[in-house]
Amino acid sequence: MERKNYLIDTNVAIYYFGLALSKDAEKFLDQVLSERYFISVINRIELLGFKQLNGNESDALASFVSKSNIFDLEEDIILKNIEASVVHELNAPLLLGQSALNRFKSITFDYVTNTLVLNKSESEENQYKLTYNTDLICLERNIYYKPDDAIIIDKVTIDGSNTDKKNVSFIKFTNKTGYQLKYVELEFSILNSTMMEIWKSTIIVETTIKNMEYFEYKLEKPILIRENEKFVLSVNDWDIKM
């Protein structure tokens, strides 16, 4: 029988440790939590920042979070959100919550510039833009790479005129390691519209690449990218040819 993986909701965890679930639900959660389970980083923020807990419940939730498999974000963003959710002073930094977002006519996110755009009206004069830093660099629409000082990604070639589906077929990169290489290992990921990884693969490009020389690699099988997906390329490893 195939084992199922469960993503635990924040309220379910709070009710479970607060003994507010039915006996059947509690028994089911006992079994789930005895095996492998998942929470999102948002669950982690909400659980560790939850105020209405006694000491024992707080310790139990902290243990629950520490044993979880977490779909993660950058650590500094997580800690800032936890800190903001547990402070009580009126002059403390505030989280941008639903009550604030409801004041805007529309909300969009530009994944190319990593900018949240809050629109009070159709006029650009009434727009508020919040931009966050990322370690991804955009080559073109829906194509990103993680910068590497040793192996420089120069170009990713996409085939297909259909806007719903495109194929990554060629990758061009330059060796700036200072050495002649015998191979370069590349990693490919596809993210969905919420920037969650849904596919990952690696390839090893086994060929002699001189220092400051570029190389164009043709994928044996093109990688399909759909309309709302993001393709991310990174360098995993390389080795020197002696």
> pLDDT tens digits for 36-86?
888 877 888 777 777 666 667 778 888 888 888 877 666 665 665 555 555
Question: What is the pTM for the complete model shown?
Answer: 0.47
**DSSP structure string for 17-68:** HTT-S-HHHHHHHHHHHTS-EEEEHHHHHHHHT--S--HHHHHHHHHHHHTS
Given a cut of 60, whether residue 132 has pLDDT beyond it is no
If you average pLDDT over residues 183-192, what whole number do you get?
92
What mean pLDDT value characterizes the chain? 77
- Domain 137-240's class? mainly beta
Q: What percent of the chain has pLDDT over 90?
A: 24
Q: Is 99 helix (H, G, I), strand (E, B) or coil?
A: helix
pLDDT of 202 > 90? The answer is yes
229 class by beta-carbon count within 10 Å (0-12 exposed, 13-18 middle, 19+ buried): middle
Q: What is the spatial distance between Cα 149 and Cα 80, in angstroms, rounded to a whole number?
A: 29
Under 8 Å CB-to-CB from 183, ≥6 apart: which residues?
204, 205, 206, 207, 238, 239
Portions of the chain given CATH number 2.60.40: 137-240
The pLDDT-based confidence of 142 (bands split at 50, 70, 90) is: confident
Cα–Cα distance, 52 to 163 (Å, whole number): 49
